[in-house]
Amino acid sequence: MTIGNHNLNEKVFIIAELSANHNGSLETALKTITAMKEAGADAIKLQTYTPGTITLDCDTEMFTISQGTLWDKRKFHDLYAEAMTPWEWHEQLFNHAKNLGMEAFSSPFDPSAVDFLSKLEVPAYKIASFEITDIPLIEYTAAKGKPIIISTGIATLSDIEEALEACRRSRNDQITLLKCTSAYPAALEEMNLLTIADMRERFDVTVGLSDHTMSLSAPVAAVALGARVIEKHFILDRGMGGADSAFSLEPAEFRAMVDAVRDTEKLMGKVTYELSAKSLKSREFSRSLFVAEDVKAGEIVTERNVRSVRPGFGMAPKNLPAVLGKHFVSDTPKGTPLAWDHIR
């Protein structure tokens, strides 16, 4: 699958999530995008909503967060008013990213956001974990015909199946599923990354990881399990504070993650039993049959005068039983790699 100019089959697609880490400053947002590029990100992702398109301004208990999160006791409406990325910033942020050679797209949270992003000609859409149950939103987004990335943080197996069916009803099969644990930050014990390989096989889609741990190990393990997309929150400095700062990586940390992912790609390579040029050269250090002492013509080949030793310039050791008991055809000095023409 291709997102913009990026072929996911050729290179893992690394997304830096801005989210609320601009802290209400356009200048900070622009500086953050520049730092994302310098840290090795392939893409920046925003979130496109207003408080009114994502929740209600309501004072009841149900609209107050109380689940043991970083945001407990806050009203949904107040939190999203603080965290939102103003829509009037989007075009400037996207253009800045594009000028740096990055892909730029966003998560829409209602149809008006989908339409807004469509006008900005985004190369893909991201469905956030908490929106995976909004089947009408998924259908509407998928109908735009662009690649669609879906996080599965709160999804049951049936939720994932319904989301995929919604995309395919909209004749969109350009789907990437991201394994995600909707905890902020997420504990390593809750990640269950083996699900990544199962999702790829079970659903026949591109897979990846939306990671909320503070570890660099999760993206590395995910790539080893077949992830082609890695998404991480990015912040200039966690000391800035903000809604998402506690589970966002600073530039040096993000760069270390990118480097580790790129190393993992090299390590994984491809399925092959062919030897590299260096490995072929190293076969010289393998064992082979050598004449182990000076011998005269007519002497019998024994386990004393022919041995399996390093290096590997003689006959293969598997031939030792076949040569024992034969006779040397001429005087042969110690250290001669044994060949068939030495014996009869």
Question: Around Cβ 66, how many Cβ atoms within 10 Å?
Answer: 11
CATH 3.90.1210.10 residue ranges of the chain are: 277-342
Strands (E), the chain: 2-3, 6-7, 13-17, 43-48, 103-108, 125-127, 148-151, 175-180, 206-211, 229-233, 288-291, 306-309
pLDDT digits 0-9 by tens, 152-167: 999 999 999 999 999 9
CATH 3.20.20.70 residue ranges of the chain are: 2-49+84-268
Instruction: Look at residue 74 in the predicted model and tell me its pLDDT.
Output: 85
Residue 181 CA: distances (Å) to CA of 151, 189, 322: 9, 10, 61
| 3 state DSSP class of 156 | coil
Name the CATH topology of 277-342: Type Iii Antifreeze Protein Isoform Hplc 12 (3.90.1210)
Percent of residues in the chain assigned helix, strand, coil, to nearest 5: 40, 20, 40
Instruction: Look at residue 67 in the predicted model and tell me its pLDDT.
Output: 67
Instruction: Look at residue 55 in the predicted model and tell me its pLDDT.
Output: 93
Q: The tokens 């925003």 sit on which residue? A: 46
Measured CA to CA, the distance from residue 314 to residue 284 in angstroms comes to 10
Helices and strands per DSSP (H, E), number in the chain: 12, 12
For the chain of 344 residues, list the mean pLDDT of each consecutive stretch of 10. Answer: 95 96 96 98 97 92 78 84 95 98 98 98 97 98 98 96 98 98 91 97 98 94 98 96 89 98 95 92 95 98 98 97 97 98 96
Instruction: Look at residue 59 in the predicted model and tell me its pLDDT.
Output: 87
Q: The tokens 């840290």 sit on which residue? A: 39
Instruction: Look at residue 223 in the predicted model and tell me its pLDDT.
Output: 98
Superfamily for domain range 2-49+84-268: Aldolase class I (3.20.20.70)
Question: pTM for this one?
Answer: 0.88
pLDDT digits 0-9 by tens, 6-31: 999 999 999 999 999 999 999 999 99
Q: Read off φ and ψ for residue 291, nearest 5 degrees.
A: -70, 120
Instruction: Look at residue 182 in the predicted model and tell me its pLDDT.
Output: 87
- Nearest alpha-carbon partner for 78 in 51, 47, 44: 51
List, as one string, the DSSP characters of 197-252. HHHHHHH-SEEEEEE-SS-SHHHHHHHHTT--EEEEEB-S-GGG--TTGGG-B-HH
Taking a C-beta distance cutoff of 8 angstroms, is the pair 194, 207 a contact?
Answer: no
Output the six-digit token pair for 165: 């069916």
